[in-house]
Amino acid sequence: MNKLQSLKAEIADAETGVRGYIITRDVNYLKSYNSGTRAVPPILSELENMRKNNPEQEKNLEALDLLVRKRLNFLSEGLKTFQMNGYRLPEDLNFDRDSARTMDSIRLAIEQINEKENNLMFFRKSKLSRFSSGTRAIAVVSLIITLFAIFYSWITYRRENRGRQEANSKAEQYRRQLENKLLELEKANMELEELRAIEKFASTGRIARTIAHEVRNPLTNITLAADQLNESLNEQTDQTILLEMISRNADRINKLISELLNVTRFVQLKFTQEDINQVLDETLEMALDRIQLNNVKVEKAYAKDACQVLVDKEKIKLAFLNVIVNAIEAMEKNKGILQIRTRKAGSKCIVEIKDNGSGMSEETLEKLFDPFFTVKAGGTGLGLTNTQNIILNHKGNIKAYSKPGQGTSFLISLNIA
């Protein structure tokens, strides 16, 4: 019975060591596992020698031996799998369920053997009851053995329970540390994306100013030359028609350059504190004709504790309107669903505008905010560029998420007042 308790304690130590190592990756836990696996075979051998004269107990011990070796083999294979899998448990390896089932079987087998031993001890005690001195001695010895077994079991349980509590405490501590690191990483990544967007916008503005300077000078000369040639012709001829065409297209190029400069220039804003939900409702009113014409269903999910933001109301409405109009045009008529959500996220107010349109490829997403990039016939490609300009001027951020056939979602973050 004492050996059985030792056997159970060593198996528990080995399992606790593996569990602690998997949770914490601390190799010190493997000391318990290694010592437990080394101690189990000698104990099993001693138990077999003790019960060679009892065929029934030999069968029970053989069953126990199979269960113990199966458990140790599972721990060994699980440990190898964990290490070979990059220190992660595979999804198909249900460690806790298998552990509980096998350990229950081992405990049941030990209890059955213990019960047999107790019955045998009782039989011998009864047989020798006529010898009073021998009976008292056996009773005292039996009591001592029982107390020792109980005491040893209690110590083993306390040790196993303490190891489990320490492992759980360390695992919880590591989990909290990991969550904090993830939050810090997400925050740093968001700040980096915002800096990249601002840098790209500033770079685009510099390129736009350079293009404007280099194009407008020769364009002015072309316009003046065309006007002078047109004045020198007294009557309407094919030449005057061509000269007028030159002048019209020169004016159109000049207008496009002016629009490009406007959408890539940091502008002065008139900030007021506004309720973001109310601003979105007013923007939807501005787009009401398009919504009704295309029979678009609008679904709103506003935050109950409304976000108060410092914005230039008219300009931020223009930014939202550009996104909403693009969403309406991307959806099939009579089947469109426009979803608008608001929520708080720390010091940010998040606005999500989502459609169920045709979606976009990754290549289109990368160029979405570039000036003059458009996939719409007749579009200038400056609407979303202007939207990004307005958001960045508010020290906010705008991102688009889309896949072909799965619609598009715009996430706009603004600072809470």
- Indicate whether 307 and 213 sit together in one domain: no
Read off the DSSP letter of residue 331.
S
Residue (of 413, 271, 417, 272) closest to 343 by Cα position: 413
- Indicate whether 223 and 111 sit together in one domain: no
- Indicate whether 175 and 212 sit together in one domain: no
- Indicate whether 169 and 206 sit together in one domain: no
- Indicate whether 365 and 389 sit together in one domain: yes
Question: pLDDT of 42-76, one tens digit each?
Answer: 888 888 887 777 777 778 788 888 888 888 888 88
17 near 29, Cβ under 8 Å? Answer: yes
Read off the DSSP letter of residue 334.
T
- When computed from its CA atoms, the radius of gyration of the chain, rounded to whole angstroms, is 40
- Give the mean model confidence (pLDDT) for residues 259-276: 75
| Secondary structure of residue 378 in the 3-state scheme | coil
Partnered with residue 298 across adjacent β-strands are 338
pLDDT of residue 283: 94
pTM (global) more than 0.75: no
Residue that terminates a domain, selected from 228, 263, 298: 263
Question: pLDDT of 326-357, one tens digit each?
Answer: 999 989 999 999 999 999 888 889 999 999 99
The domain of 173 spans 2-182
Question: Between 295 and 103, where is the model more confident?
Answer: 295
- Indicate whether 242 and 278 sit together in one domain: no
- Indicate whether 145 and 172 sit together in one domain: yes
Tell me phi and psi for residue 287, to 5 degrees: -100, 10
Scored b (16 or more CB within 10 A) or e, 11-24 reads bbbbbbbbbbbbbb
By CB neighbour count within 10 A (0-12 exposed, 13-18 middle, 19+ buried), where does 353 fall? buried
- Count of the separate structural domains present in the chain: 3
Residue that terminates a domain, selected from 148, 182, 216: 182
Scored b (16 or more CB within 10 A) or e, 364-390 reads ebeebbebeebeeeeeebbbbbbbbbb
Tokens of 78: 């699980």
Residue that terminates a domain, selected from 235, 263, 291: 263
pLDDT of residue 92: 58
